[in-house]
Amino acid sequence: MRSSFLGLLALGLISWGSVLHAKGVGADGLGPSPDSTSAVAPLGEKAEEAIALMPKECGGGLREALAAAGANQSELIDAMEKAKSGHREGVAFLIANMPQRDLAGLKSDFILRNVEFAYLAREKSPWGRDIPNDLFLNYVLPYVNVNERRDDWRQDFYERFMPVVKECNTPSDAALTLNKEVFERLNVKYHASKRPKPDQSPYETLEAEGYASCTGLSIMLTDACRAVGVPARVAGTPMWTTVQGNHTWVEIWDEGWRYVGAAEQSPLCRTWFGGRAAEAIDGDMRRQIYAASFRKTSLSFPLVWDRDIQYVPARNVTPYYTSRRNVALKVLDKPDGKPWKATVTLRLDGETYARCHTGKGEDAAQLELPGGKTYEADVAPAKSSSLGRMLRREKAFTTTVETSQEDGQEIVICPKTD
């Protein structure tokens, strides 16, 4: 699966990924970045009243977004005013991170319906409440993946696909079930030339008699996953290292990131392209691997079908494919002490990356992590453990852990008790 015209574009890829995104939004995707120097024109009283309804940390990003919305500002303010109290963070996140085309064009009803059914999926799915909030905001809540047409798919996909995954207990089970059922039920399939364009939205694919590129298929599966509360994102490379062409696929989060080919029947992380992805070149913008983000970042997702578009944020995920290592992780009450039950959340580059649960006993939690990285580890001891009682004044503690390039590394975490 690859775009047939990629060979003609190969010489022009060198500049992809070099653009910086929106200086005015910080790492959390809500407030202004510390180095933002752009001046925002004063907003009207109605805008300020709407901002006051949102979480305080959202104010700076929302002011910049509303200032950039032009004549559509009233629609964004309307969405902020009408958002339910429990949905305000989600509305604020979307508006603060929207590209210019959406600030200028999306309507209040579209935003509110998308947010309503995203939170409903979080509530109704067995895994929804366990999804870390930053991943929910960035990989469940968004209505778009890259530059595709903005379809109002959320309610439709929720109603179509929640019944499909009703017997599933994990995000992984749900994603694999959807990867089979969605394409069969909608009669969607890959075709390199019959699809009208590579970056089709879900409804554009249905309008095209079900033909789609690997990107169109990935958009379809990602949206279906998000509709049922599974964190999902489009990933891909603009150029393979050893063969010609690009490819796009899907990553889903279930205690860590996993990958799968859209409309391909294979287990997670066991795909035909896994070997090719392992040969990607980190640091080579033409041959590294990207995952799309809605939260603004300093990197742009390379769109091989339209190199002029640089407003799609991305993360460089190459190390997951090229240097993934098996890691055993334990939490002890003290050095050389006893293991204890705890939940460990690992954050990489400011975003939740993986989570594991350590148990009382000798067995360590097993993870697959990129080697050579430093992670921030949030450790929440089980309330019933003596470690939890020892730390009763603090619900959790934070430390850092480093992964090596060796497979089978054991990492031991202990609390600071002084």
The yes-or-no verdict on residue 29 having pLDDT over 70 is no
Quickly state the pLDDT bin for 337 (edges 50, 70, 90): confident
Q: What is the pLDDT of residue 334?
A: 86
Provide the pLDDT for residue 19: 37
- Among 4-8, 81-85, 124-128, where is mean pLDDT lowest? 4-8
Mean pLDDT of 333-337: 86
Say which residue the tokens 């939205």 belong to. Answer: 201
Q: Is there a contact between 106 and 195 (Cβ–Cβ < 8 Å)?
A: no
**pLDDT tens sequence across 134-192:** 999 999 999 999 999 999 999 999 999 999 999 999 999 999 999 999 999 999 999 98
Rounded to the nearest 10°, the torsion over CA 42, 44, 50, 51 is 10
Chain Cα centroid distance, residue 37: 28
pLDDT for the residue numbered 382: 78
The tally of CA atoms less than 13 A away on the side-chain side of residue 418 is 0
CA distance 154 to 5: 32
- Of 40 and 2, the one with more pLDDT: 40
Mean predicted confidence (pLDDT) in 240-247: 90
Distance CA 182, CA 198 (A): 19
**Given pLDDT bands bounded at 50, 70 and 90, which one contains residue 418?**
low
CB 270 within 8 A of CB 222: no
Residue 301 has pLDDT above 50, yes or no: yes
User: Which pLDDT value is given to residue 32?
Assistant: 52
Average pLDDT over residues 335-355: 93
The CA distance from 227 to 153, in Å, is: 9
Q: Which of 5-19, 299-313, 314-328, 403-417 has the lowest mean pLDDT?
A: 5-19
Q: What's residue 336's pLDDT? A: 87
- The helix/strand/coil state of 4 is coil
Average pLDDT over residues 113-137: 98
More confident of the two residues 335 and 282: 282
- Which pLDDT belongs to residue 359? 80
Q: Is the pLDDT of residue 113 over 80?
A: yes
**For position 396, what pLDDT does the model report?**
79
Q: How large is the average pLDDT for residues 34-41?
A: 52
Which pTM value belongs to this model? 0.89
User: pLDDT at residue 25 above 60?
Assistant: no
CB count, 10 Å around CB of 15?
A: 13
Is residue 414's pLDDT more than 70? yes
pLDDT at 267: 96
Domain annotation for the chain: domains and CATH numbers: 6-321 (3.10.620.30), 323-413 (2.60.40.10)
What's the pLDDT score for residue 61?
Answer: 94
How confident is the prediction for the chain on average, in pLDDT? 89
Number of helical (H) and strand (E) elements in the chain, helices listed first: 15, 14
Mean pLDDT, range 114-120, rounded to an integer:
98
Mean pLDDT of the region 240-265: 95
Instruction: Work out the percent of the chain whose per-residue pLDDT is above 70.
Output: 86
Predicted local distance difference test score (pLDDT) of residue 59: 87
Mean pLDDT of 374-393: 71
The residue with greater pLDDT, 26 or 9, is: 26
Question: Is 96's pLDDT higher than 80?
Answer: yes
| 39: confidence class by pLDDT, cuts 50, 70, 90 | low
* Weakest-pLDDT range from 19-23, 167-171, 357-361, 394-398: 19-23
Contacts 24+ apart (CB under 8 A), 121-124: 121/158, 121/162, 121/226, 121/227, 121/228, 121/229, 122/229, 124/162, 124/229
pLDDT at site 21: 43
Tokens in use for 200? 């089709």
DSSP state of 310: -
Q: Residue 65 has what pLDDT? A: 97
Which segments of 359-418 are extended strands (E)?
365-370, 374-381, 397-402, 409-413
Beta carbons within 10 angstroms of residue 243's beta carbon:
10
46 has a pLDDT exceeding 50: yes
Q: In what order do the strands lie in the sheet with 365-370?
A: 365-370, 324-331, 409-413
CA dist., res. 290 & res. 215, Å (int):
13
Does residue 15 have a pLDDT over 60? no
